[in-house]
Amino acid sequence: MATATNISKATDKTVKTISPKPEIVPGISKEIIHKLSNEINNMLSYAIFNGITINTEVNTLIQNSTVDDLINSHNILCKNISPATPKSIEYTKKLREEEKGKTLFSKLPLVRNLIILSIIFLIAFIITGLSPEVNNDSLDKGIMDNQGLSLLLNLGFLTAISGLGVLFYLLKNVSTAVKNGTLVPEDTIYYVALIILGVIAGLISSEIISFYQKDAQQINLFNKGLMALIGGFSSDAIFSILQGIIDRIKAIFIPSNSTT
């Protein structure tokens, strides 16, 4: 005969096994709607502060506050504030709020690091340039005929010029990005990679892709230094040229998939 305790335990087990499943509500989550609204406010604040003309249709859309209207107002504001983006505006606002009381040099770590690197490359350029091992004759030898300390100093000299070239390009880009409000966190990683590519491109331009007048003996300090500077400044162009050459070579050996 079942006791009251056994019946109670059986009832508890039944209740546990029939526990209701969490309800899944389709559509846009409240989190996304809140973020959308926050980005709209940030873009409005940015546009008003910078004197950017705003489409008056946005006012009606925001007051309605439906998801469709918020998305439409977000799209309109993105066009109004271009080339800035909601992400870049939020990043700039975060930097401004977190770094209160600090100097402008400390507020933008990317700009600070680029300036420090520029000074380092400039010092390296001056030190290696003062060495008697760095001259027209030693640069004429190149990496194949030079050796030892002379080779190290000459490569350091060309590396410093390449670094100055790429940093000249990046500092101009960063200053434009700060002015236009287009700076984003990913720029830090992108610029580090571009500095390395710039140094490599400068060395390739000055040592491998050399423009000879008549023979190798007529290469001088100005030519190699200029090629290193141009290579550093236009590292993306050097990459595009090399990529184009590789693509053409691949096209010769790899047949096209198109059928006639």
- Annotate the chain with three-state secondary structure: CCCHHHHHHHHHHHHHHCCCCCCCCCCCCHHHHHHHHHHHHHHHHHHHHCCCCCCCHHHHHHHHCCHHHHHHHHHHHHHHHCCCCHHHHHHHHHHHHHCCCCCHHHHCHHHHHHHHHHHHHHHHHHHHHHCCCCCHHHHHHHHHHCCHHHHHHHHHHHHHHHHHHHHHHHHHHHHHHHHHCCCCCHHHHHHHHHHHHHHHHHHHHHHHCCCCCCCHHHCCHHHHHHHHHHHHHCHHHHHHHHHHHHHHHHHHHCCCCCCC
* Token pair recorded at residue 155: 């490569």
Q: Which residue in 149, 146, 156 sits closest to 125, CA to CA?
A: 156
For residue 259, pLDDT over 50 is answered with no
pLDDT class for 105, splitting at 50, 70, 90?
Answer: low
Chain length of the chain: 260
- What the block records as the tokens of 163 is 């670094």
Q: Which residues contact 76 (CB under 8 A, 6 or more apart)?
A: 55, 57, 58, 61
Tell me what pLDDT residue 102 has. 66
pLDDT grade, residue 57 (50/70/90)?
confident
Q: What is the pLDDT of residue 1?
A: 46
Which two tokens mark 182? 């287009």
Of 225 and 28, which is predicted with more confidence? 225
Which of 76, 12, 84 is CA-nearest to residue 46? Answer: 84
User: What pLDDT sits at residue 228?
Assistant: 85
Given a cut of 80, is residue 10 above it in pLDDT? no
pLDDT of residue 4 exceeding 80: no
pLDDT value for 25 = 45
Which position has the higher pLDDT, 251 or 21? 251
**Domain boundaries defined on the chain:** 30-82, 104-253
Q: What is the dihedral of CA 188, 191, 193, 199, to 10 degrees?
A: -150
Whether 43 and 89 have beta carbons less than 8 Å apart is answered as: yes
Among 2-16, 115-129, 215-229, the least confident range: 2-16
Average pLDDT over residues 171-191: 87
Whole-structure pTM value: 0.70
Q: Which residue has the higher pLDDT, 146 or 154?
A: 154
Q: Which amino acid is residue 180, in one-letter code? A: N
Quote the pLDDT of residue 122: 94
CA distance linking residue 13 with residue 10, whole number of Å: 5
Residue 18 has pLDDT above 60, yes or no: no
- Please say if the pLDDT value at position 210 is more than 70: no
Whole-number pLDDT of residue 209: 66
pLDDT at 218: 54
pLDDT at 24: 46
